[in-house]
Amino acid sequence: MSKTVFVTGGAGYIGSHCIVELLNANCQVIAVDNFVNSVGEENGESAALKKVEIITGKSVTFYQMDLLDITELDAIFHKHKIDCVIHFAAMKAVGESMEYPLLYYKNNIIGMLNLLEVMERYNCYQLVFSSSCTVYGEPTEFPVTENHSIGQNITNVYGKTKYFIEEMLEDISHSNEKWNIIALRYFNPLGAHPSGLIGEDPTKPFSNIMPFISQVAIGRKTVLTIFGGDYETPDGTGVRDYIHVMDLASGHVAALSYLFRKHDRIKVFNLGTGTGVSVLDLVKTFEKVTNTVVPFKITGRREGDISIMYADAKLAETELNWKAKHTLEEMCADFWRWQTMNPNGYRAKDTTKIQNGH
């Protein structure tokens, strides 16, 4: 698939892993990032994307920029002939979105509007949008299919921005038949590239659970805080559909391939494993796989969280020819490899050597 793909948020956790798969699929990649959720270097380069180039042996064209700057965005589209866009760039933490709603609405929605406007200006109508299972709110039936209602019981601002953007995409796809859009509603990404060279390196205290678990295991934090132990689940902790980030990455390549095969104007797919795992089960699996101990304490529920969420991903299997392949054990092992090889994340001067014999 020889296409030039514009990747927003390309230096981030999911974006960088996706670019590995895009390069392996012979795509040319132009990536942008403002380093809100990722680590940048003093010269404006991405620490993660330099590792991506090592992994693949291929180069990435990178620009440090913010989608709120439509002039700079326009200049990039003017300079390059872009075939399609994968849009990851967003502020993405549930808890943070509840504290700073205006920041989330401005960044996520205006950034999307600017991107769509520039895409249309340059006759680029192929888009894969990074959506989220949060658009389903608190689900009423399981597993959650793409036909489940969206927008009605959304418990956090982050999820609302994803829902509003999906509604925008629906509207533009009806107004102009040239648009060809896939929205991927993904569940909870974990893991890292099996090389250990790239992984998740949070820049904020608001983060996914796996970095917290591994930082407790490696001794950088003393205890894991689990929010909520009184949900109506088998062990009282929240249940999620954890998916390996490399499965998520391959799902985006499958979606791009679909876009150039079919023209549905807009199509939605869940990307998940179809299996619900509690937070406590995740911690126990991590301890078993890595032979570590992760002390934890259970506190009150966190505003914006829901109790249970797991996917029905049969539509992606049928139409995208995609299915999650990695196990929960592999997610834990791959993340631990990243953590032990890079105890300070991308901030370490030499992150390619294995530390402490792991």
Tokens matching residue 191: 């893991």
* Helix, strand, coil in percent for the chain, rounding step 5: 40, 15, 45
Cα(355)–Cα(146) distance, integer angstroms: 43
- Report the b/e string of 145-172 with b at 16+ CB within 10 A: ebebebeeebbbbbbbbbbbbbeebeeb
* Sequence letter at residue 161: T
Tokens matching residue 197: 């060279």
* Sequence letter at residue 39: V
- Do β-strands 224-227 and 296-299 pair in parallel, antiparallel, or remain unpaired? parallel
Inter-CA distances, 317 with 214, 271, 279, Å:
31, 9, 26
Cα(27)–Cα(86) distance, integer angstroms: 12
Inter-CA distances, 233 with 133, 229, 256, 279, 347, Å:
19, 9, 37, 10, 38
Which of 104, 136, 158, 310 does the annotation list as catalytic?
Answer: 158
Cα(78)–Cα(347) distance, integer angstroms: 33
Distant-in-sequence, close-in-space partners of 54: CB < 8 Å, separation ≥ 6: 197, 352
- Report the b/e string of 247-285 with b at 16+ CB within 10 A: bbbbbbbbbbbbbeeeeebbbbbbbbbbbbbbbbbbbeb
Instruction: From 334, 333, 354, 239, select the one nearest 288 (Cα to Cα).
Output: 333
Tokens matching residue 177: 């038949």
Cα(272)–Cα(12) distance, integer angstroms: 20
> Is residue 158 annotated as part of the catalytic site, yes or no?
yes
Q: Kind and range of the H or E element at 244?
A: strand 242-244
Catalytic residues: 158
